[in-house]
Structures are given as C-alpha cells and as structure tokens.
Amino acid sequence: MQPINRMKIEFESKSVNESFARIVAAAFASQLDPTIEELADLKTAVSEAVTNAIIHGYEQQEGLIFMECILYEDSITVKITDHGVGIEDIEKARIPAFTSKPELERSGMGFSIMESFMDSLFIASEKGAGTKITMTKKFSKR
C-alpha cells in the first residue's frame, strides 16, 4: 500500500516532551478522521514508547528521540527510536508487569498497553545501540 502522508520529528529526551509527542502523533493521525477512542489509544501507545525512551533508553539523561509517522488509507504506522542503552532480552521485556526499574515505580505494563492498544507492535533493539518501536493502528472506516 502507498503511504498518503508522512512526517519525521526529533526532540529531546525530556519528560515535558511526552505530551508534546502525543499531540503531534494525534494531530497527524486526525487527518484520517479516527474515532475519539482510536485517537486516545494511539496517544497512550505513543506516550508509553516515548516514556520508555526517556526512562530506560536514556536513563533520564540527555538524548534525542525520533518519531516517524506514516499515514495509509486507513491506518497509521508510528516508529519511535532512541539511541540509548538498548534492551538485552526483548522476550523478557514484553512479559506483562516485567520492569527493570521497580525502584522508579514502573508498572511494567508499557509494552502490554502498546500491544493491546495498537494492531501490531515490533521491537528492534541492540544492547548499547538503541531501540526502535514500530506500531501500527487501523482506523475503522466511517
């Protein structure tokens, strides 16, 4: 399928940018006229991935986060990338309630939420190099 629109953004790994990233993704997706619930799901998933890049990827230090959004006829693909520490064991990271940072009161539900709120979730990561999350959400035809 041909993309009908796309954009790329990079921003600093600051927690104040979590809501900014959600607004950007939702504003772009709104070109497809999604329902309020679909838009809320997308915002939540984007928030999870961006928060992970900030907390886990860059361990709350400085760094750049990259987000790419690609619109198709009836779906959006969002890619969120950091050049942070990377994930050693992706299978383990995906287990619901698993977190490597319980001391920060993380719930370990981030990946579970991304998986259930989006239609597909791919995680590519390399220890010491970074992490790239690719998620797609279909929007209902109206």
Partner 1 sequence: MLEITLKRQNRVLTVYLKGELDHHAVSKVKETIDLQLVKMPLSQLILDMSAVSFMDSSGIGLIVGRYNKMKCLGGSMKIKNPGLNILKVLKMSGLSKLMEIS
Ligand X SMILES: Nc1ncnc2c1ncn2[C@@H]1O[C@H](COP(=O)(O)OP(=O)(O)O)[C@@H](O)[C@H]1O
Q: Which residues are known catalytic residues?
A: 48, 52, 106
Backbone angles phi, psi at 98, to 5 degrees: -80, 130
> What residues have CB less than 8 Å from 58, skipping those under 6 apart?
13, 82, 84, 85
Stretch that binds ligand X, among 24-32, 37-45, 51-59, 70-78 (CB under 6 A): 51-59
* Distance of closest approach, residue 85 Cβ to ligand X, in angstroms: 5
Q: Which is nearer to partner 1, 56 or 79 (by Cβ)?
A: 56
Query: Nearest-CA neighbor of 49 among 100, 104, 112, 3?
Result: 112
By CB under 8 A, residue 73 contacts its own copies: no
Figure out which of the listed residues 67, 70, 79, 84 binds ligand X, where binding follows CB under 6 A: 84
| Cα–Cα dist 63/45, whole Å | 21
> Which listed option, partner 1, ligand X, its own copies, none, makes contact with residue 5 (CB within 5 to 8 Å by class)?
its own copies
Q: Per CB under 8 A, does 27 bind its own copies?
A: yes
Residue 78's contacts (CB-CB under 8 Å, 6 or more residues apart) are 25, 42, 45, 46, 49, 67, 68, 69, 70, 133, 134, 135, 136, 137
For residue 47, give both structure tokens: 């928030």
Residue 100 contact, options its own copies, partner 1, ligand X, none, Cβ 5-8 Å cut-off depending on partner type = ligand X
User: Which residues of the shown chain bind partner 1 in the complex (CB under 8 A)?
Assistant: 15-16, 18-19, 22, 37, 40-41, 43-44, 47-48, 51, 54-55, 104-110, 112-113, 116
